[in-house]
Amino acid sequence: MKRCRLIVGLLLLGGGAALAQTNSPDARLAGELTAERDHAGAALEYRRLALAAPEAGERGGYFWASAFEYLRAADPVAAERMLSRVEAEAPGLGRQTALLRTDVALAARKWDEAAFFAEGVLQSPGAAREEKNLAARRYAAAELRAGDLPAARAGLQRAPDPAPPALAALEAYAQGRDKKPWLGGVLGLVPGFGYFYAGEWANGFRSVILNGLFIFGMVNTAQHDEWGAFGVISFFEVTWYTGSIYGGIDASHRYNRERLNQTVNGVNGAAAFAPDLVKLPLVSLQFSF
């Protein structure tokens, strides 16, 4: 995996004061919590450090780290709150905040918002190649989620460095076809066929076998005038039969979601960024592709 590093040219405390604060012992606990994957705890610790910091730039750096950890803790709402504090304390971290806001918006399923922030990075004249490469992938992912394939393709092509695997993933998606849920439901009238349509062969055969067993039980009990057992078996068969219909609909939806998720994963690839925790409160981003 290619590792790329971008040292952000903003010293949050200004000049030598910022350098004096790098590798702060106060941030050691937060770093340990991150290493232990206690991201919620690390976010809270960085937030505490931000509130205790005397300088606005230093507070902004810690709030940014707190937002990043809240995102890793799957709490995009808290991450958004921290990023609002970053914008108030350290407006010079515009691109870095926009990158993180893009990922937060994606996690919150706010596709238009994610595309907006990624677009801001792409249009920024001061953005580094690594920043724009990542923003292009995130923009494409957001537009793809929003259902705009042409916009996703155009956004990906704006990356400074070509990304053939990502473009190939988009083209494969364009050539494929989603399943039609209504058709899955209609085919589900024949037990198992709705599942077969969506490619869920195991579920399809399971539906065929179970419905077949219950139908056999209904016929057998009716032939022997065992109407009590017939009623019980009929009740369960109605459940399994209607389940076959709704199952065909759900299977089609699952197929479409999985196809989209795989494409988004292909577009993003291994593209990611993270702060260099050793350098906090100086924000130094590390990129991987």
Confidence band, pLDDT 50/70/90 cuts, at residue 6: very low
Provide the mean pLDDT of the chain: 89
Confidence band, pLDDT 50/70/90 cuts, at residue 21: very low
Q: State residue 15's pLDDT score.
A: 30
Domain ranges of the chain: 3-177+267-288, 181-265
Q: State residue 167's pLDDT score.
A: 95
Please determine, for residue 44, whether its predicted confidence score (pLDDT) is greater than 50. yes
Confidence band, pLDDT 50/70/90 cuts, at residue 13: very low
Please determine, for residue 267, whether its predicted confidence score (pLDDT) is greater than 50. yes
* pTM of the predicted structure, to 2 decimals: 0.83
CB atoms < 10 A from the CB of 178, how many?
13
Is pLDDT larger for residue 22 or for residue 275? 275
End-to-end CA distance of the chain: 6
- Secondary structure E strands in 177-250: none
User: What residue has token string 């206690």?
Assistant: 38
| pLDDT > 70 fraction of the chain, expressed in percent and rounded | 91
Q: State residue 107's pLDDT score.
A: 97
**Homologous superfamily in CATH for domain 3-177+267-288:** Tetratricopeptide repeat domain (1.25.40.10)
DSSP characters over 115-136: HHHHHHHHH-TT--HHHHHHHH
* 112-141 mean pLDDT: 96
